[in-house]
Structure 1
Amino acid sequence: MSTLFNNFSVFSDNVQAIYGRAIEDYHVADSIETAVENPFPVGELEHLLYLKCWIDNVQWHVEDAIRDPHIDATDALKLKRRIDQLNQERTNTVEYIDDYFLHYYTGVPVMPYARVNTESPAWALDRLSILCLKIYHMNAEVQRTEASPDHIHRCRNKLATLRLQQIDLSVSINELLLDISKGNKQMKVYRQMKMYNDENLNPVLYNTSKF
């Protein structure tokens, strides 16, 4: 079982260390074609968190690339397909993370007054991953020597806000997990049930498959 649960007060700090490692590892080659080399054992929460952040890294750069105003239409379509694939992989990975939490908290007595949180732990951790990426890239903007002083100033202010968001979200995640561990909040998950990639649910796909 993951050691991340040993101390809820630093749970998010430890998760951010994993995200930071994924971000740094990705930017060694800085290529959307680089295959993930996950350093954590399969089946552990750390493995899923690293994979989730790696997917976010790739999608971040694919989203940048598709916004090139001079992009070839064929290349743009390929990137759009890649974005769809990454979105599905991201959703699947987040749900695997929630499965891990569901298994971990099996057997915890739920108090009669327990409430359901607005989002599951995994989707909160999804937001934390994106925040870590925003901070990494906003910090890169602050470091640009060729940028104007006004650009640097605006990016520095945005960076400060992002870091404050990171602190607040981290505390909220820690508190949520502590509440679930005590039965004060109910660990409850609803699947995303995305329809656009499913040939049985997307009318364009299942109507096309008839021909």
Structure 2
Amino acid sequence: MSASTIAATHLPPVSEITQLQIDTVADWHQGPIENAYDGFKQLVCKQHEYNYRLWHQEDIARSPTADDVKIAEVKRAIDKLNQQRNDMIEQLDDAITELLEKLHVRPAAEAPINTETAGSAIDRLSIMSLRLYHYREQLERDDADAAHRAMVAQRIDLCEQQHADLSNSLQELLADLLAGKKRHKTYRQMKMYNDPSLNPEIYKS
């Protein structure tokens, strides 16, 4: 789905975005990766999927049993997924831009721009939901001792605090954007390493 197809809809509350991320992480670990959402949530879910796939490829890359061939294969998969992840951050921000235009939101020229876009914040929340899921898995390990469980419990508490803080900040940002109190832009990632015309290791080979 392109950003333009959701311009006629609305932005869901951040609580629904984060619940989507939490629910799908759990579901995808038990079954196939599916995206049953529409509108803005479909974009959120697609972006989240790339983070989910990236997380597990990163785990494989660090396995002591992975040989050079496997690591090279995983590295290429990580590069591709990271590009797709960043492309989806841009699509999320493009969708917000189109919605603001449809609603005729015209912030003043002096309205500030946030240091982080809404799409980037959604990406960070996605990663945080993955981190929380996998930390909670650590609490269930049969071979984990008390010290390990205590360390994991402390980190879960910190992650939950950070997740709540970021969720609140994103909700405030979206409210400010819709009220015209802040200006919104899509910042292009312009990654060079996957572009055959820009990566010298590719165009010189």
Equivalent of residue 103 in structure 1, options 93, 98, 104: 98
| SS of 1:136 mapped into structure 2 | helix
For 1:47-66, what aligned pairs fall within 5 Å after superposition? 47-66=42-61
Flag the structure with more relative contact order, 1 or 2, with Cα contacts below 8 A and sequence separation at least 6: 2
- Deviation of residue 21 (structure 1)? 2.6
CA distance in 1, matches of 2:142, 2:14: 32
For 1:127-206, what aligned pairs fall within 5 Å after superposition? 127-206=124-203
- TM-score normalised by L of structure 2: 0.91
Q: Does 1:27 align with 2:22?
A: no
Q: Does 1:69 align with 2:76?
A: no
- Deviation of residue 112 (structure 1)? 4.1
Measured against aligned partners, the alpha-carbon deviations of 1:48-90 in whole angstroms (never above 9, x if no partner) come to 1111111111111110011111212111110110000100110
- Are the equivalent residues in 1 in contact too, given 2:125–2:166 (CA < 8 A)? yes
- Deviation of residue 40 (structure 1)? 1.6
CA distance in 2, matches of 1:92, 1:190: 11
- Are the equivalent residues in 1 in contact too, given 2:18–2:126 (CA < 8 A)? yes
CA distance in 1, matches of 2:16, 2:30: 22
| SS of 2:19 mapped into structure 1 | helix
- Deviation of residue 25 (structure 1)? 2.4
- Are the equivalent residues in 1 in contact too, given 2:61–2:75 (CA < 8 A)? yes
Equivalent of residue 83 in structure 1, options 63, 78, 85: 78
- TM-score normalised by L of structure 1: 0.88
CA distance in 1, matches of 2:146, 2:90: 43
- Are the equivalent residues in 2 in contact too, given 1:200–1:206 (CA < 8 A)? yes
Q: Which runs of 5+ in 1 are unaligned?
A: 6-10
| SS of 1:124 mapped into structure 2 | helix
Q: How many residues align?
A: 196
Measured against aligned partners, the alpha-carbon deviations of 1:12-70 in whole angstroms (never above 9, x if no partner) come to 210011112321221014xxxx6x421123xx211111111111111111100111112
- Are the equivalent residues in 2 in contact too, given 1:195–1:202 (CA < 8 A)? yes
2:5 aligns to what? Answer: none
- Deviation of residue 145 (structure 1)? 3.1
